A and B are shown apart, each in its own frame.
Chain A
Amino acid sequence: MAKFLDLATAVAEMVHDGDVLALEGFTHLIPFAAGHEIIRQKRRNLTLIRMTPDLIYDQMIGMGCASKLVFSWGGNPGVGSTHRIRDAVENQWPQPLALEEHSHAAMANAYEAGAANLPFAMLRGYIGVDLPKVNPQIRKIACPYTGEELATVPAIRPDVGIVHALRADREGNVLLEGITGCQKEVVLASRRTIVTVEEIVDDLRAPSPNSVILPSWTIGAVVAVPGGAHPSYAHGYYKRDNSFYIAWDKISRERESFLAWMEENVMRKGPEAFAAHAGKRAAS
């Protein structure tokens, strides 16, 4: 069964220096509060996995938490570059960052393979492109029935998977709705898991028998952090703060303005600061 912990305790217990972490959320439900707690606790030499390392990994990498990034698209969506990730790759600031680069299709398949307890994922992909020349993890296999050549990538099995969901019930069962990305796969592929939620309720009020629900016994820790996905969003609770994504371009462009913002808004604050962004729940 999932334990109900506060965020600082959950991160202290589950996230260690040198761990392989996946914080997922495809534009929606990005676990910003958990990422900030990892920054505050000064974890180092993490391998960070994420299909779309956008602002949260820009912040973690800029604050020196990571030595390796596994990803398929790194940018500030619709705005431009993630300047801190670029600074790490182009100038090794604040430290060198090794890259393992994939396509979205490959990473989505690799998470699914991890959840399915398979050693690798297979796809009809990477055809005629240069990525396999620079990423030796991308290999090929011949179909045993037709001989067709298909691409393979290793399954993703993180030490810790961290996602943000809409709500949990008192037993720690968790509900997601809307764009659910590969969160279910990440939770089921990871050795340890932290799920932050908007609220803890008596009844999940699952909208359909087919709703995306992660049973309590698949989760390590459930943590209530209202607003914890801001500036991304929580379906039915609050909208994506697109103006913050636009503002981040300027904040993150220079090291000084980035560090000043992180000091003010992350290092000197706690998860309760996210409550200011929390919205009302959709249905009650």
Chain B
Amino acid sequence: MSLAFTPNEMMTIAAARALRNEDVCFVGIGAPSAACNLARMTHAPDITLIYESGTIATKPNVLPLSIGDGELCDTALTTVPVPEMFRYWLQGGRITVGFLGGAQIDRFANLNTTVVGDYHKPKVRLPGGGGAPEIATNCREIFIIMAMGKRAFIDTLPFITSMGHGVTGRERRALGVKSLGPTRLITDLCLFEPDPETKEMTVVSIHPGVTREQILENCGWTPAFAAEAIETRAPDAIELEVLRDIQARTKAAHGG
């Protein structure tokens, strides 16, 4: 029997599956946080979740609205000052996975969360980089979670807030960056991984019920499909139940 699920649930569950029990994960707020805590509450109970507010090995029972909700500190193994977090833990090379979201992405998984339009005369002023510019290069690898759409998946970014594989796919090596960069891009329609040679993000798995046409329609460039692209495994009952429970608890807790 197949279960009903939304594209957003499929995205979050697929993102959670990408995490391993032994990972030390630097968690972005929003969709990354939902995926990371779902992983912790299902197959990866020992995963170490770190938020940039300084909370290390935090185990929130509800999803935080902000990066520094009290729940994160109350349930953490320890909480360190923000300068220490960025210096010793992130720059110190202690993080295996940086989990990011973004407003816009290109085919080499560079991210823009700064501006749409000219920087000095922006059409839309976005929040800015926060921790992302250094997360992108100081973690062993980067996972990105973003819903697809032509305003989000665009051919040429107006601004590079954090580097994926660079504008040609070769910049990481050229700049002497040793970390892997974005190894997975999890969307509501499919999963991308970088081509081993060109580093262009390539569709490797298509979510159940999604067509290639839908992916093309929601992408600002013509994405490559891996020859061996498979169908993503549908969410199982436990994954859906745990995710819906967290989201219900979160909604009740935030009173929004």
Distance from B195 Cβ to chain A, minimum over Cβ atoms (Å): 19
Q: Which of the segments B42-50, B160-168, B208-216, B224-232 contacts the partner chain?
A: B160-168
| A245 in the interface (beta carbon within 8 A) | yes
| B142 in the interface (beta carbon within 8 A) | no
Q: Which residues from chain B contact A131 at a C-beta distance below 8 Å?
A: 114, 129, 133, 161
Q: Mark A239-279, 1 if CB is under 8 A from B, else 0.
A: 11011011000000000000000000000000000000000
Cα-based distance from A159 to B158 in the complex (angstroms): 35
| A73 in the interface (beta carbon within 8 A) | yes
In the bound complex, do residue B159 and residue A130 qualify as a contact, i.e. CB atoms below 8 Å apart?
yes
In the bound complex, do residue B69 and residue A27 qualify as a contact, i.e. CB atoms below 8 Å apart?
yes
| B218 in the interface (beta carbon within 8 A) | no
| A123 in the interface (beta carbon within 8 A) | yes
A26-B53, A27-B66 known; A123+B134 contact, CB < 8 A: yes
Q: Which residues from chain B contact A105 at a C-beta distance below 8 Å?
A: 86-87, 90-91, 131, 133-134
| A109 in the interface (beta carbon within 8 A) | yes
In the bound complex, do residue A103 and residue B133 qualify as a contact, i.e. CB atoms below 8 Å apart?
yes
Q: Which of B53, B68, B124, B171 contacts A128 (CB 8 A)?
A: B171
Q: Which of the segments A10-18, A59-67, A85-93, A199-207 contacts the partner chain?
A: A85-93
Most buried by B among A72, A185, A246: A72
Q: Which of the segments A33-41, A75-83, A219-227 contacts the partner chain?
A: A75-83
Q: Which of B72, B130, B175, B253 contacts A73 (CB 8 A)?
A: B130
Q: Which residues from chain A contact B255 at a C-beta distance below 8 Å?
A: 242-243, 246
Cα-based distance from A73 to B128 in the complex (angstroms): 5
Q: Which of B30, B79, B137, B160 contacts A78 (CB 8 A)?
A: B30
Contact size range, B: 35 or more
| B125 in the interface (beta carbon within 8 A) | yes
Q: Which residues from chain A contact B120 at a C-beta distance below 8 Å?
A: 134
| A198 in the interface (beta carbon within 8 A) | no
| A1 in the interface (beta carbon within 8 A) | no
In the bound complex, do residue A128 and residue B160 qualify as a contact, i.e. CB atoms below 8 Å apart?
yes
Distance from A236 Cβ to chain B, minimum over Cβ atoms (Å): 9
In the bound complex, do residue A181 and residue B64 qualify as a contact, i.e. CB atoms below 8 Å apart?
no
In the bound complex, do residue A89 and residue B171 qualify as a contact, i.e. CB atoms below 8 Å apart?
no
Most buried by A among B81, B132, B138: B81
In the bound complex, do residue A240 and residue B83 qualify as a contact, i.e. CB atoms below 8 Å apart?
no
Q: Which residues from chain B contact A43 at a C-beta distance below 8 Å?
A: none
Distance from B161 Cβ to chain A, minimum over Cβ atoms (Å): 6
Distance from B165 Cβ to chain A, minimum over Cβ atoms (Å): 9
| A180 in the interface (beta carbon within 8 A) | yes
Q: Mark B221-256, 1 if CB is under 8 A from A, else 0.
A: 000000000000000000000000000000001111
In the bound complex, do residue B161 and residue A127 qualify as a contact, i.e. CB atoms below 8 Å apart?
no
Distance from B245 Cβ to chain A, minimum over Cβ atoms (Å): 19
Cα-based distance from A124 to B88 in the complex (angstroms): 12
| A74 in the interface (beta carbon within 8 A) | yes
A78-B66, A103-B131, A124-B91 known; A85+B79 contact, CB < 8 A: no
Q: Which residues from chain B contact A112 at a C-beta distance below 8 Å?
A: 83, 87
In the bound complex, do residue A181 and residue B159 qualify as a contact, i.e. CB atoms below 8 Å apart?
no
Q: Which residues from chain A contact B129 at a C-beta distance below 8 Å?
A: 72-73, 101, 103-104, 129, 131
A26-B68, A74-B127, A105-B133 known; A129+B163 contact, CB < 8 A: yes
In the bound complex, do residue A111 and residue B83 qualify as a contact, i.e. CB atoms below 8 Å apart?
yes
Cα-based distance from A148 to B177 in the complex (angstroms): 11
| B17 in the interface (beta carbon within 8 A) | no
| B73 in the interface (beta carbon within 8 A) | yes
Q: Mark A85-119, 1 if CB is under 8 A from B, else 0.
A: 11001100000000001011100110110000000
Cα-based distance from A72 to B129 in the complex (angstroms): 6
In the bound complex, do residue A75 and residue B131 qualify as a contact, i.e. CB atoms below 8 Å apart?
no
Jot down 15 A-B pairs with beta carbons below 8 A, ordered by A.
Answer: A27-B69, A51-B82, A85-B125, A105-B87, A105-B131, A123-B87, A125-B138, A129-B162, A134-B119, A179-B54, A181-B54, A212-B81, A240-B65, A240-B66, A242-B66
Interface residues of A (CB under 8 A from B): 26-28, 51-52, 71-75, 77-79, 81, 85-86, 89-90, 101, 103-105, 108-109, 111-112, 123-131, 134, 148, 178-182, 184-185, 212, 233, 235, 239-240, 242-243, 245-246
Interface residues of B (CB under 8 A from A): 29-30, 52-55, 64-70, 72-73, 79, 81-83, 85-87, 90-91, 114, 119-120, 122-125, 127-134, 136-138, 159-163, 166, 171-172, 175-177, 253-256
